[in-house]
Structure 1
Amino acid sequence: MSENVQTAMYEILKKIQAQLADHDKRFDAVEKRFDELGELVRKQRRDTAGLLVMAKAVTGDFAEQVAAIEERVAALEARGR
């Protein structure tokens, strides 16, 4: 009887070990996906920062052009009076 219990115990332990190995593979796959997502987030942040710099440059240029037009309009208005 004790030999059957020991054999059953070893079989149970082997099954547990196999399940743990399967879980390790799944955790490795999940970690890989998280790493890929982290890289994607960093890339998106970098791209967004670049777009922000470009947007600030464009709005600054636009503001300069509007200011120049306002100066010309003010000069024309002053000349017309």
Structure 2
Amino acid sequence: MSDDASLDEFLGDESGDHAETGASAPSDDGEATTATEPAADIEPATTTYAWSGEGAACDECGETAERRWQQAGGLVCPGCKDWDRA
């Protein structure tokens, strides 16, 4: 076995309780077990950028672009992107 620390050792509260984080924790037999926690309050990640090697249509002007950014619910090319807007 390696002397390297497992990332699981850094999860949980100070008491070492992994159940609150939903992280995998080693069981008594050495196998990892996963504590369950409702994910209802976790927001999924939102993409802000898309890349396509063949290019894809800009949702605003229709031009083909390899790189497109989120704007107003669609993916737009660099020319249509409002860079001043947050």
Shorter-chain TM-score bucket reads: under 0.3
Between structures 1 and 2, the one with greater strand share: 2
Between structures 1 and 2, the one with greater helix share: 1
| Bigger relative contact order, structure 1 or 2 (CA pairs below 8 A, ≥6 apart) | 2
What TM-score do you get using the length of structure 1 for normalisation? 0.18
Bigger Rg over Cα: 1
